[in-house]
């Protein structure tokens, strides 16, 4: 939503908004001259001609109810994005995992090539100066969120699907319904890029009956990575395009999952006219978006904050830690995100590579509690897997515990899409002072 606000403001619209609490993102909007109110009230609508809302906002929200009563046009966020995409050559990145990073990489490569793309990304990227921009270039690069189902109405010039996994079952009801939504999205795109290593994407390719571009690390694809070697935060690999070996790539990001993200972004860049050799050089200067394996402390003890909140994302990050650092001990903090995810998704096998897990309370993200679903449900499942698990709902207690317990050689990573980042940031700050 903040990205949309920035773009509309840059195009000359008068933009206001409201949120439940103050945040860094709201402060950024205020610095641009965008008025943000805290707390939802009908008077926040005064002077408005159009209301755009996030799928996180319930239908009974006081401002939405008032907007409909006043007869104001009310648009879902994705519908507003759809209107913007029609004004540019539309490049969209969808998928269950990795879409923020892939979108940022693609926008960065276009920017490095001097094409001045506009972009809207779900996370701020240091390499791009933020999470959104409206520029004079012909491309608009957008992260496409599948959570509410509206993405099936988009018509893109080029679509990337990083993978098709299990998520948002509170909206879709079943994994098959998730797959059908991605299939509908793919069919409306003019050109399509798919992950050859992802089973549902291979199924999609077979059902579409049309030419698509592919990327992958294991199975044959148009663009592949070979000879991967990770050293700490950097991953080296050899770029192979349709069987021809090209440059060695030095990717300043850890793990096979980030190599796959880079392949998807470079293949999309190639599809719109960029040279693979030049992109392989340019991506050396890329910086991951915030909360994507974000380094907070790296001196005897390593502390990382990461947005990962799904099993595949957690496993990919933990594998990168084990392969790139081989630490004495890996400790994971995990804040489950949404009651429905804890109910619908199995996290019990996600922490197989850690020595210790600390689980805190579920971050509701606007959801109401579900009877019988709480964080202790996950704790019990992890203990059945033989993991050392502590359930600590109080953030202050977590900080105090780890401040005393962390020792040289430890690697601590916090996982969650909620507010657990406060713990890892404060813990890193206290270690810096020490």
pLDDT class for 195, splitting at 50, 70, 90? very high
pLDDT above 90 coverage of the chain, percent: 83
Can you tell me the mean pLDDT for 398-427? Answer: 91
Residue 161: φ, ψ to 5°: -115, 110
* CA–CA distances in Å: residue 28 to residues 23, 32, 255, 261: 9, 7, 31, 28
**Using one digit for the tens of pLDDT, what is the confidence trace for 341-392?**
999 999 988 999 999 999 999 999 878 899 989 999 899 989 988 889 999 9
Q: Is the pLDDT of residue 434 over 70?
A: no
- Over the chain, what is the mean pLDDT? 93
Classified as helix, coil or strand, 168 is: coil
Domains defined for the chain, CATH in brackets: 2-74 (3.40.50.720), 88-285 (3.40.1190.10), 294-433 (3.90.190.20)
Classified as helix, coil or strand, 371 is: coil
The structure tokens 């509170």 sit at 170
Separation CA 188–CA 159 (nearest Å): 9
pLDDT higher for 430 or 77? Answer: 77
Q: Is the pLDDT of residue 397 over 90?
A: yes
Separation CA 334–CA 250 (nearest Å): 30
**Using one digit for the tens of pLDDT, what is the confidence trace for 212-249?**
999 999 999 999 999 999 999 999 999 999 999 998 99
Separation CA 38–CA 433 (nearest Å): 33
Query: What sign does the dihedral 343-99-31-65 (CA atoms) show?
Result: negative
The structure tokens 């959570």 sit at 147
Can you tell me the mean pLDDT for 177-200? Answer: 97
* Cβ neighbours, 10 Å, residue 59: 8
Identify the pLDDT of residue 283.
97
pLDDT class for 21, splitting at 50, 70, 90? confident
Q: Is the pLDDT of residue 6 over 90?
A: yes
Identify the pLDDT of residue 209.
87
- In the DSSP assignment, the letter for residue 352 is T
- In the DSSP assignment, the letter for residue 363 is B
Identify the pLDDT of residue 404.
86
**Using one digit for the tens of pLDDT, what is the confidence trace for 108-144?**
999 999 999 999 999 999 999 999 999 999 999 999 9
Cα atoms in the Cβ-side hemisphere of radius 13 Å centred on 397? 9
**Using one digit for the tens of pLDDT, what is the confidence trace for 36-81?**
999 999 999 999 999 999 988 888 999 999 999 999 999 999 999 9
Identify the pLDDT of residue 171.
85
Identify the pLDDT of residue 368.
86
**Using one digit for the tens of pLDDT, what is the confidence trace for 307-349?**
999 999 999 999 999 999 989 899 999 999 999 999 999 998 8
**Contact assessment for residue 248 and residue 277, using Cβ atoms and an 8 Å cutoff:** no
Classified as helix, coil or strand, 258 is: helix
* Cβ neighbours, 10 Å, residue 16: 15
Using alpha carbons, select from 308, 400, 240, 315 the residue that is nearest to residue 97: 308
Classified as helix, coil or strand, 152 is: helix
pLDDT class for 24, splitting at 50, 70, 90? confident
pLDDT higher for 25 or 90? Answer: 90
Is the pTM higher than 0.85? The answer reads: yes
């Amino acid at each position: 939503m903040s990205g949309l606000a920035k773009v509309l403001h840059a195009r000359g619209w008068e933009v206001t908004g409201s949120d439940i609490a103050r945040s860094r993102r709201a402060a950024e909007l205020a610095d641009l001259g965008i008025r943000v109110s805290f707390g939802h009230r009908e008077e926040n609508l005064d002077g408005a001609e159009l209301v755009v809302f996030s799928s996180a906002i319930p239908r009974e929200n006081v401002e939405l109810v008032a907007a409909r009563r006043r007869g104001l046009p009310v648009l879902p966020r994705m519908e507003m994005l759809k209107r913007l995409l029609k004004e540019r050559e539309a490049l969209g990145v969808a998928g269950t995992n990795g879409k923020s990073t892939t979108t940022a990489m693609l926008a960065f490569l276009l920017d490095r090539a001097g094409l001045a793309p506009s972009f809207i990304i779900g996370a701020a990227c240091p390499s791009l100066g933020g999470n959104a921009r409206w520029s004079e270039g012909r491309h608009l690069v957008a992260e496409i969120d599948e959570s509410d189902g509206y993405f099936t109405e988009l018509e893109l010039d080029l679509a990337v699907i990083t993978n098709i996994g299990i998520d948002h079952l509170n909206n879709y009801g079943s994994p098959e319904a998730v797959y059908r939504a991605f299939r509908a999205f793919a069919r409306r795109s003019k050109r399509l890029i798919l992950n050859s290593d992802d089973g549902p994407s291979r199924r999609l390719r077979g059902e579409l009956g049309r030419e698509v571009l592919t990327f992958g690390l294991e199975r044959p694809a148009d663009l592949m990575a070979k000879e991967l070697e990770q050293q700490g935060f950097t991953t080296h690999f050899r770029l192979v395009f349709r069987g021809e070996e090209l440059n060695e790539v030095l990717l300043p990001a850890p793990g096979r999952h980030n190599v796959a993200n880079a392949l998807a972004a470079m293949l999309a860049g190639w599809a719109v006219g960029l040279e693979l050799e030049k992109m392989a050089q340019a991506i050396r200067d890329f910086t991951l978006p915030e909360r994507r394996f974000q380094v907070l402390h790296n001196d005897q003890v390593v502390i990382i904050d990461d947005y990962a909140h799904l099993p595949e994302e957690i496993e990919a990050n933990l594998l990168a830690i084990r392969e790139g650092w081989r630490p004495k001990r890996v400790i994971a903090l995990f804040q489950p995100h949404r009651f429905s995810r804890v109910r619908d998704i199995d996290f019990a096998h996600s922490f197989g590579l850690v020595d210790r897990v600390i689980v805190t309370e579920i971050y509701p993200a606007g959801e109401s509690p579900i009877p019988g679903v709480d964080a202790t449900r996950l704790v019990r499942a992890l203990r059945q897997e033989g993991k050392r698990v502590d359930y600590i709902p109080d953030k202050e207690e977590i900080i105090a515990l780890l401040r005393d317990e962390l020792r040289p050689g430890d690697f601590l990573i916090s996982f969650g899409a909620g507010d657990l980042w406060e713990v890892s940031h404060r813990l890193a700050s206290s270690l810096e002072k020490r």
